[in-house]
Amino acid sequence: MKRIVDVAVSTDPIDNFQNIVDYAKEMQGHAEFLHCDIMNENFVGKNTYDYNVVKTINSSSAIMLDCHLMVNEPANDVSKYINAGANIVTLHYEAFKDKNQLAEVLKYIKKCNVLAGISLNPATPFKEIRAFAYSADIVLVMGVEPGASGQTTDEEMYKKVAEIHRFKEDNNLNFKIEFDGGVNEKNAQKLRDLGVDILVSGSYVYNSKDRLKAIKILKGIE
């Protein structure tokens, strides 16, 4: 049976705040999420925007907001993104020196009735975050090094997705597997078949002549 998945369109290729708002409006009703790539140069070598822009996007559109915090020690900022309207807040495992604090922040996000995500970089083995997967709503697999749109997927990450999917099935867990990095029409079916539930797309959808068709291709309905 053909798997239909959700699509989160990323803001990463867009460098103008008004264009992000316009893109959010265009994508609402077509993509399930706007994937807000939040970077502040202390985790990756790029600076994007913060919760103030997320609040503007939320007040200007109806699309659900998938906030991916690529920042070190983000604990103090999480409540700001929740108050700004985030539907998902995803934290990087590598961004916390104190892993107990990571566990507490994930609990806090869930307590606020927001989906709690944990992300791992390509170099981080799944076994390192396995304990957190039990309490997470989303496990976000980075298919590329975070920080730049338009990269090609590291093919070793397909094995990681398969491992996470087996773990999920074996333990009867309900978290969603999300994949971010190099997603396009060439690998979308493979990722769906491996068990990915949410495909993040930056350049592929944004640069497509027919964005709505590109979303349907990723979902698996065209």
Which two structure tokens, joined as six digits, stand for 156?
């070793």
State the catalytic residue, choosing from 6, 37, 50, 66: 37
Query: Residue 208: which residues within 8 A CB-CB, separation 6 or more?
Result: 214
Q: Catalytic one among 12, 50, 180, 197? A: 180
Query: Which residues, in sequence order, are bridge partners of residue 214?
Result: none
Q: What are 74's two structure tokens?
A: 């983000």
Question: Within 13 A of 61's CA, how many CA atoms are on the CB side?
Answer: 27
**Which residue in this structure is represented by tokens 């990723």?**
218
Is 180 designated active site?
Answer: yes
Q: Which residue has the tokens 């496990």?
A: 139
Residue 210 is among the residues annotated as catalytic for this protein: no
Q: Give me the active site residues, please.
A: 37, 180
